[in-house]
Structure 1
Amino acid sequence: MNATDSPPETTITGHLLDRLHSLGVRHLFGVAGDYNLRMLDEVLAHPGMQWVGTASELGAAYAADGYARVRGFAAVLTTHGVGELSAINGVAGSYAEYVPLLHIAVGPPRSKEQDGAVAHHTLGDGDYEHFARAFRQVVCADALVRPEDGPAEIDRVITACLRESRPGYLRLPQDVALSSAPSPSGSLGRPDRHAADQHSLAAFLDAAARRIETAGTIAVLADSLVDRFDARAELSDLLSAGSLPHAVVVSGKGVVDESAPHCLGLYAGACSDDTVRTAIDSADLLIRAGVRLADTTSGGFTHGYDPDRGISAGPTTVSVDGAAFPDVGLRAALAGLARLVEDRRMTASTPAASAPRHPSPSGDSTLSQAYLWHAVSAAVRPDHTVVADQGTPLFGISPYRLPAGARFLAQPVWGSIGYSLPALLGAQLADPSRRGLLLIGDGAAQLTIQELGTIGRHRLTPVIVLVNNDGYTVERALHNPRAVYNDITPWRWTDLPAALGVPEPLVLTVRTRAELDRSLSMAAATEDRMVFIEACTAPDDTPVLLSRFAEIARRQAEDAQ
């Protein structure tokens, strides 16, 4: 192209789709609405993008969250007002859990905005910014896209999402989506996670070296921010350099190899097994990799270590005994710590962590929560993506170690029930080489079960274990177990996969240990279609971890009165 040539043109939508595609996004989740239909025509015409129409915008947001956790970025497209407000709960969860995705809300054309017209899907007062203001509470960046600076604003918001690992929001008037724009020049790269302020990094490593040199015992606690900020390899190097005993909180399951000899297992404050709790809480030096203290991951804040002591590595700041060193990211901090630990040439002795006690061998006895999670955990394969919903599934599976390579998705900080089923859809589309294993309760499933049809439409073949325990067992464990508000309408669960359009599902109901064992064996052998297992347990039967957590929560609630 010579100096007089104009750059090739595309549309605002074309620019946006090209940017998403360059970042590895191949699927766009959402629900069609009259404002976004013409934009969807461009989505369908784009050679590298597939439209995934979901049953609801909330399901689309959850699916995008699951997709982003696997691919590193995702996008959801809704219509103005009614569509975007349906999705905002899912986007808020992504914000709380540090998941980078882009929400695109397509609304009325600019002419209607300028006239203050009472357009449908608005509040009828001529103010078209209501919902953008709501989204500013749950995104790291937002923009109203205009033709004159649309590409630059799109790039700015996406860059912020990638840098901060959080959602962004674009408000796109219908006519602007189709307006012309220059084709993207240059790539939109991901942030350099190794970058750090060299002065701050040197000061941190100097303080950390002194702390490591004088520590008698060193342990490591890891959380999900290790994954969100691309530091898993550096964490692995640190653990290997010193053969350090280490544990994960529930939100961090999967960031370390739980089969490694120095892995202690799950840490959950006072809910932990004694061996794990002692090793973490009594370490002379506790290195915390991307750890955020939350009530659901720390046993109701019953952690026994001092958060102002030890080394804490966060997304952009690290600290040593409370002294902060800004502009040092997780990757740079963990890489530096690995070198320091290796130089010390320490040999750690790891206490033997006690695994969850296995129930007695299977038989025709009634299925219990204890046996359910023992059997399900034993069925997990390295190529599984395990998605666990809040409630008995998350509390039940968390203490069990997963095989090396297995991926684990959960939402313990935001804790929105029903998240896991659409998240499974997104995770499976993001990486179809893995088989999904969904663990969900009957109460949670009633919120998002319609996306089972979307999973079936895309010919995905996960194994779904639905725990039918007649209502909100997690709430029964916390307070007033016989209260009517913990009851739900009983559904005929085995009718639903076919009713929702799943092609030829294998549907099984289990009420005994032997039936569960047979069903899990059948599921492993049936890889060409969805396997739906309804596992029936008693309403008041709870996993050990949940029982411990509920006892602490009840005591804290009484003390607060």
Structure 2
Amino acid sequence: MRGSIGSMVLERLRHSGVSRIYGVPGDYNLEFLELIERTPGIEFIGTCNELNAAYAADGDARLTGIGAVLVTYGVGDLSALSAVAGACAEGVPLVVISGMPPWHAIQSRALVHHTLADGNYDNVMACYRQFAAATARLHPASAVTETDRVLHAARTFSRPVYIQFPSDICYVDVEVGTPPAMEPQFDPVLVERAADLVVRRIRQARQPVVLVDALVRQYGLVERVQQLCAQYGLPYAALSTARTIMAETGPGWLGAYGGRASDPHVADYVHGADCVIGLGVRFVDSTSGYFSQEIGAGALVDIQAFSLTCDGLDFQGITAAALLDAVWRKLASLPHTRAEPPPAVQAAVPSAAQAWEQAAFWSRAEAFLRPGDVVVADNGSSMVAMLHARLPAGCSLLVQPVWAAIGYSLPASLGACLATPHRRHVLFIGDGSFQMTAQELSTLLRHRCNITIFLINNGGYTIERMILGPQASYNDIANWDYASLPAAFGSGAAPLSLRAGSIAELDAALVQAAAHQGVAFVEVGFTPMDAPPAMAAMGQAVRRYDYGIETPDLT
């Protein structure tokens, strides 16, 4: 079967699960965009800049499994790169396609725009190699095999990949063939041996626990892990990078784990466990209470995507999916007793007598959420509050605690809204984060997304104030008229836009927002040092780790 290189790339993307490509037009990708316009089953979503496009694709991929971005060479590549690096850090598969100058320009080292005008066409590729599981520059002689190789890497390693697409080969006709199978390979004998070891550890454990990280999302392991925990009565906890991936209701759910930053009953149970089944666990500063995890010596059974480390033994050549299948099969035939986790702490009920401060807001925000909502929270007060919240059944929480780029959440919400338009979306974002990527509010309005946005206006970077400089001018930002922006950014009928500076105003706004379809924007105002209770402890931990001081000298 023959077809154009451009059509082949689009068909391969669709076969991989891509139905939306986010990006910005540029003169080197226009012919490919023309082809997208004429191709059913795949849609181009224009964004305000390439950084936001990659964030949107990231939000889409977290709910659908893979995302795609289209940029133009040089300026577009590097604009998107921070978001691509974030996807790499957080284990999100993105396909970045860069429309680049034509092959005749590359071969003659022509001095063209969007380059350094030095004839070098390799420097941008060198940048992307640091943050991509695979890279390729398409050529008619190898375009099909290179596309297949790169997309296979995206799926296998659950990381971004990067394709440079010279502008003059989109309609070159090649032998296309059918896409190859993309299942990672494993050694079944090693899998059985590894499973025997894991089963023995679980059977011998006095207090086992499963510790869930992003691996479970990256490789579609939710049903396997849920089945294993239910079959053998294993309690489970989740790091902040894995909140809501597993069901957070029922007898097996222990709670969110982040070292000594966890609720005490969760930390005590995990730290007292003699068998910790770690699923892709990485103890990053921001996910471990600044390295306050206390996993007993020899307790960790470390399952990664393609390896197992346990009892001093290391197994390569396996996959987490095959290992979990084998463990469940072996345990299913054995008698067992159910491990009982400690009872969870009950969520606080909002009180009308509370003072107007963030504690009152977050208790009401938690009550505002419904089962099945997609909740997105930006780095800072919003993420800290949502990571400590008890979310309704079926909610999906999108946060970025490892790369921790402020501004991520607004464009990520765009991707989430377009990926799951049948669900309600709720975004919590601070004023400093909002100013980073505010343009994409216009795209949410343009696509009539069903989202309620809570803008927390506390006059600057409160999370930084908690670390250093509580009164410093460098933590101040311009105070925009936030509630007026939806009307200015949108066209047609003005969206619902409200302000709340008291509990009574907030309660009224929540009623209106709950009944609204489309974009609802609620600005809530607080004093600069008002924050969720966990923020002060977090600020102290960061200050101590980064600067080696308990209390800063403010004189």
Q: Same fold (TM over 0.5)?
A: yes
In structure 1, the residue matched to 2:488 is: 499
Aligned to 1:301: 291
Residue identity matched to 1:238: L
Give the aligned partner of residue 398 of structure 1: 387
Match of 2:324, as an amino acid? L
Match of 2:159? 166
| Structure 1 residue 558, shift from structure 2 partner | 4.7
Q: C-alpha separation between the residues in 1 aligned to 2:12 and 2:49?
A: 25
Work out whether residues 421 and 450 of structure 2, in 8 Å CA contact, stay in contact via their aligned partners in 1: no
The offset of 1:401, in angstroms, is: 1.8
Aligned residues: 548
| 1:379 CA displacement | 1.7
Partner of 2:141: 148
Matches within 5 A, 1:223-302: 223-302=213-292
Report deviation, 1:438. Answer: 0.9
- Using the alignment, how far apart are the partners of 1:464 and 1:307 within structure 2? 45
Q: Are the aligned partners of 1:204 and 1:319 in contact in 2 as well (CA < 8 Å)?
A: no
Partner of residue 74 from structure 2, selected from 81, 86, 90: 81
**1:352 matched residue in structure 2:** 343
Q: Which residue of 2 aligns with 1:114?
A: 107
Does the residue aligned with 1:449 lie in a helix, a strand or coil? helix
Aligned-partner Cα distance in 1 for 2:83–2:298: 33
- SS of aligned partner of 2:255: strand
For structure 2, the residue ranges without an aligned partner over 5 or more in a row are 551-555
Deviation at 1:51, TM superposition (A): 1.1
The corresponding residue for 1:10 is: 3
Task: Specify the alignment match of 1:46 in structure 2.
Answer: 39
Distance (whole Å) between structure 1 residues aligned to residue 280 and residue 534 of structure 2: 23
Aligned residue number for residue 455 of structure 1: 444
Contact 1:392 1:543 in 2 (8 A): yes
Change in CA separation of 1:244 and 1:539 when aligned onto 2, cut-off 3 Å: same
Give the whole-Å Cα distance in 2 for the aligned partners of 1:406 and 1:263.
15
| C-alpha distance in 2 between matches for 1:359 and 1:403 | 14
> How far off is 1:339 after superposition?
4.2
- The verdict on how the C-alpha distance between 1:376 and 1:129 changes in structure 2, with shifts beyond 3 A counting, is same
Match of 1:546 in 2: 535
Partner of 2:467 in structure 1? 478
1:55 is displaced (CA, Å) by 0.2
SS of equivalent residue, structure 1 residue 247:
strand
Q: Which structure 1 residue ranges, 5 or more long, are not aligned?
A: 1-6
Deviation larger for 93-102 or 507-516: 507-516
Distance 1:311 1:252 in 2: 18
Distance 1:545 1:556 in 2: 17
2:126 matched residue in structure 1: 133
Contact 1:219–1:245 (CA under 8 A) maintained in structure 2: yes
Aligned mates of 1:134, 1:159 — CA distance in 2: 21
How far does residue 199 in structure 1 lie from its aligned partner after superposition? 2.1
Tell me if structure 1 keeps the 8 A contact 2:375–2:397.
yes
Cα gap change, 1:52 to 1:186, in 2 (>3 Å)? same
Aligned to 2:86: 93
Query: What letter corresponds to residue 331 of structure 1 in structure 2?
Result: A
Checking the alignment, whether the CA contact within 8 Å between 2:280 and 2:305 is kept in structure 1 is yes
Q: Secondary structure at the match of 1:291?
A: coil
Report whether the alignment pairs 1:530 with 2:519: yes
In the other structure, the counterpart of 1:4 is none
Q: Does residue 1:338 correspond to 2:331, yes or no?
A: no
The equivalent residue for 1:556 is 545
Provide closer, same or farther for how the CA distance between residues 473 and 101 of structure 1 changes in structure 2, counting only shifts above 3 A: same
Deviations 1:420-477 (A, max 9, x none): 1111111111121112111111101101010111111112121111111111111111
- TM-score w.r.t. length of structure 1: 0.94
Q: CA RMSD in A?
A: 1.8
| CA distance in 2: counterparts of 1:371 and 1:216, whole angstroms | 41
Contact between 2:21 and 2:43, CA under 8 Å: does it hold in 1? Answer: yes
SS of equivalent residue, structure 1 residue 102: strand
* Distance in 1, Cα, partners of 2:431 & 2:195: 49
Quick check: 1:217–1:285 contact (8 Å CA) kept in 2? yes
Task: State the secondary structure of the residue aligned to 1:296.
Answer: helix
- Following superposition, the deviation at residue 546 of structure 1 comes to 2.1
CA distance in 2, matches of 1:500, 1:394: 26
Distance 2:322 2:387 in 1: 29
When structure 1 is superposed on structure 2, of 299-308 and 386-395 the one drifting more is: 299-308
Which moves more between the two structures, 12-21 or 240-249?
Answer: 240-249
Whole-Å Cα distance in 2 between the matches of residues 63 and 322 of structure 1?
42
1:29 to 22, 45, 48: 22
Structure 1's 202 and 560: CA in aligned 2 closer, same or farther, altered over 3 A?
farther
Give the match's secondary structure for 1:450. helix
CA contact (8 A) 2:211 2:236 kept: yes
Does the 8 Å CA contact 2:60/2:416 hold for their aligned counterparts?
A: yes
User: Percent identity between the aligned chains?
Assistant: 38
Cα deviation for residue 261 of structure 1 reads 2.4
Task: Give the equivalent residue in structure 2 for 1:201.
Answer: 191
d(CA) in 2 for partners of 1:445, 1:305: 37
Equivalent of 1:445 in 407, 428, 434? 434
Q: Distance in 2 between matches of 1:360 and 1:43?
A: 49
| Letter aligned with residue 344 of structure 2 | A
- Kindly indicate whether the alpha-carbon contact (under 8 Å) linking 2:265 and 2:344 is maintained by their aligned counterparts in 1: yes
Comparing 387-396 with 337-346, greater Cα deviation is found at 337-346
Which TM-score applies when normalising by structure 2? 0.95
Secondary structure at 1:134 match in 2: helix
Aligned 8 A contact 1:22 1:188 in 2 = no
Paired AA for residue 556 in structure 1: Y
Name the CA distance, whole Å, in 1 between partners of 2:349 and 2:503: 10
Query: Distance in 2 between the 1:63 and 1:310 partners?
Result: 35
Which residue identity does 2:80 align to in structure 1?
A: A
Cα shift at 1:163: 0.8
The SS at the match of 1:15 is: helix
